[in-house]
Amino acid sequence: MTEEVNIHTHGHAGHISLNRPKALHALTLDMCHAMSAALTGWADDDNIQTVILDHAEGRGFCAGGDINLLRNSALNDGGKSGRAFFHDEYQLNHQMFEYAKPIVAFMDGITMGGGVGIAMPCKYRVATEHTRFAMPETGIGLFPDVGGGWHLSRLGGRLGQFLALTGARLDGAECVWAGIATHYLDTADLTEAKSRIAAGHEPGRVLSALGQTPPEARIESNEAAIKKHFAADSFEGILASLEGDDSEWAAKELATLRTKSPQTCKVALRQLAESGKLDDFADNMRMEYRVASRVLVRPDFAEGVRAVIVDKTNDPKWDPATPEGVSEELLDSIFAPLPEAEEWTPLN
C-alpha cells in the first residue's frame, strides 16, 4: 500500500483520501493500484454501503495524472511505461464507472485531467466554493482522456467541445449548472456530510439536506455563443465561426485556441464525436487507450509539457503547426486499432 493515498473504513463507508499535497494529489500508478484494490475489497463487504473519495489536505482534489512520468516515458522508453500507466489508470476509471455501490466524490479544489477521470464516474459529485474543474490537455499536446470523451460529449449544447478545446476552468456553481456536479456544499459542511454517510445514511439524502443553492453560473451567459461557435465537428469550422464574431468573448476564445496543439484539438473533436455514439464505457476506454498510446509519443506531448510545465516559457512549437497540417490520414492512424495483444482490457 502506498502512503500517497489513505484508505480506511469508517462505519458503513469505505474512505479513499488522496495524499500527495505537494503535487495537488496528482495520480501515480501506485495510487491507481491502491484505489483499485480497495474498491475490489469493498465490493463484497456487506458492511460497506458507500465509498467516500476526497483528498487529505491542501488545495487540490486531484490535479491530474503523473505528467512527469509520461514525459520521461515519451522521451526515454518509447512510451512503454506511459502506456502501462494509462492502461491501469483507465482500468480504475472503468471500475469506478461500473461499481455497484455509490461513490461520493468531494471535488473540493482543483479537479483536472486525471482528477476528472476519477470524479465523473461517481454517482454523487460534490462541488464547493473551491472547485476548479478543467480538462486542460490541449495546452500540453495531450487530449481529454480518462473517459473525458464519454463525459464531455454528453454535456449537451456543445459545452463538452468548448471545454475540451479551450481547457476552460469551471467553478463549483458552473459545474452544477453544467451537470458535472450533482450537489453543491459549503466546505464547512463537508465533514458533517461524510460523518452522516459513514453512519449509514443514504448519501443522496445527506447531500440534499446539507446542500446549498449555488451562486449564479457565470458561463450561463455564454451558453448561446458556445452552442453557436463550437457547433462544427471540424476545428477549422470552429475557428472560422469565432473569427466571424467581433465580440470580446469570441476574440478571447479564439486567442486561447491559437495557443493549443492543432493535433490535439482535432483529436479531441473526433474523440467526442466517436464517444457520443458509444453505449459502452469500456468501448470508450478502449478507443481512448489507442489514442493515448499514439499521442504520447507524437512530438506535441513532450514539447507541450516542456513549454508549459518544465521550462514554463509557454512557447510550444507544435508539429504540425497549423490545423490544416493535421491530415485525416494522421487522425486515422492515431485512432486505429492496436495489435490485439496490446489493446486495453477492463479489470477482471
Active site residues: 65, 114, 137, 145
Spatial contact of 238 and 213, defined as CB atoms under 8 Å apart: no
- The DSSP element (H or E) to which 112 belongs, if any, is strand 110-112
User: How far is 203 from 130, CA to CA, in rounded Å?
Assistant: 21
- Cis? peptide before 203, omega within 30° of 0: no
C-alpha cell belonging to residue 257: 485556441
**172 residue type, one letter:** G
CB atoms closer than 10 angstroms to residue 131: 29
**Pairing mode, strands 50-55 and 103-107:** parallel
Contact 134, 120 (CB under 8 A): no
Residues 296 and 86 sit within 8 Å (Cβ to Cβ): yes
The span from the CA of 121 to the CA of 104, in Å, is: 10
Q: How far apart are CA 223 and CA 156, in angstroms?
A: 10
Residues 6+ apart with CB under 8 A from 340: none
Phi-psi region of 229 (alpha: psi -120 to 50; beta: other; left: phi over 0): alpha
Q: HSE (CB half, 13 Å, CA atoms) of 246?
A: 0
Cα 76 to chain centroid distance, Å, stands at 26
Q: Could you tell me where the beta strands, DSSP code E, fall in 129-239?
A: 132-134, 170-171, 183-184
Give the count of alpha carbons within 13 A of 22, CB side only: 1
